[in-house]
Amino acid sequence: MSRASGQARPSRRARRAVSLLAGVIMLLVGVGFVLYPILSSARAQEETSEALAAWRSEVVVEDRAQGEMTDEAADYRPKEGDDTYEQLLAYNDEVRNGTGDAVNDPFAFASDDLAALGLPDGIIGSVTIARLGETIPLYLGASQQNLDRGAAVLAGTSMPTGGDGTQCVIAAHRGPRVGLSMFRDIETLEIGDAVVIETPWDTLTYQAVGFDVIDPNDTGALAVEPGRDMVTLLTCHPYGHNYQRYLVRCERSDDTAELAPSPVEAVAATVTHAIWPGWSEGSPLLNLENVLRLAGLLIVLGLGVWALASMARRGSRRGPGGAHFD
């Protein structure tokens, strides 16, 4: 063996070590791109669920005068004789009769009013959208403060009690808040998707039945429809421009068991949504963001795999003792 080949061998080994290290780093970065949004979203969702569970433990009061309650009944406040629930029903009557607050009146739900309702924090429940893999706190009044913390019921629309002749309009931002995506990917919802509203008194399940794009001042599109039990999701549109409003119209469904995803389906939906939320027809900027994120992920993973594969090929050309056969 010549002196030159002996000097070259450490150099080749160093290059292989650098290539291997680069490949491992690229793979780890790629895996991080995949896992970070999933883990971040999962952590934010866990914190939200814990906060909602603590809230429920405070606002759900058992009617001990009725004696022993079933496990199912103990999960909810009794409606009969509940002052808060009666006031919500009365508010819905005013909305139905056209004598209620102006739609999205920012002063409709003052803190004193909420305290009188027994809802001092303004939280009335939560909204779960399986397609988006999210459960979001639901507040009364679409103030900026509430929208920075979750979704909110627009003043002047029905309260989330259900019932014929009600339309509860729920608004949320078109981008992340408190670690949750909110209604960022609302355009990926499809006909038949489930939207579940949970309050201290009920769990109400709705199905998406239609989609609309309206002007911000078109409050007539949010009016009650006689004989129908509706929930409408509302957010800014198109993504990044926000000069219109995107609506997902949902109608009450009794097929709660059929619509509820299994735990495995829920996890799969969360993971899939974190990697590729889906295509939004009316929001090209959102699609561009998603495509660039996915492309970056694939490039980093591809480079990492290529570097490791190159190392493996170089190793296969070497025989015992490091001799080359090519």
Which tens digits make up the pLDDT trace of 231-245? 999 999 998 888 999
Other C-beta atoms lying within 10 Å of the C-beta of residue 309:
11
- Catalytic residue (one of 236, 237, 250, 273): 236
Give yes or no: 237 in active site.
no
* pLDDT tens per residue across span 145-154: 899 999 999 9
Where residue 307 falls among pLDDT bands split at 50, 70, 90?
low
Domain carrying residue 273: 39-288
Q: Does residue 61 lie in a domain region? A: yes
Residue 179, in any domain of the structure: yes
Range from 97-106, 127-136, 172-181 that averages highest in pLDDT: 127-136
Mean pLDDT (the chain) is 79
202 closest CA partner among 250, 161, 236, 171: 161
What pLDDT is stored for residue 101 in this prediction? 83
Q: Residue 182 domain-assigned?
A: yes
Q: Is residue 279 part of a domain?
A: yes
Residue 229 lies in a domain: yes
Asked if the structure places residue 265 within a domain, the reply is yes
Q: Quote the CA–CA distance of 124 and 69 in Å, as a whole number.
A: 23
- pLDDT value of position 275: 65
Residue 203: inside a domain:
yes
The C-alpha atoms of residue 225 and residue 209 are separated, in whole angstroms, by: 14
Task: State the DSSP string of 2-67.
Answer: -HHHHHHHHHHHHHHHHHHHHHHHHHHHHHHHHHHHHHHHHHHHHHHHHHHHHHHHHH----GGG-
Predicted confidence (pLDDT) per residue in 38-95, tens digit: 667 667 777 777 888 888 877 785 443 444 444 455 588 899 999 999 999 999 999 9
Total domain count, the chain: 1
The answer to whether the beta carbons of residues 104 and 156 sit under 8 Å apart is yes
Q: pLDDT tens for residues 177-189?
A: 777 889 989 999 9
Determine whether 236 is an active site residue.
yes
CATH number reported for the structural domain that contains residue 192 in this entry:
2.40.260.10
Q: Which residue has the higher pLDDT, 223 or 267?
A: 223
87 in any annotated domain: yes
Q: Is the pLDDT of residue 325 over 50?
A: no
Are the C-beta atoms of 208 and 236 separated by less than 8 Å? no
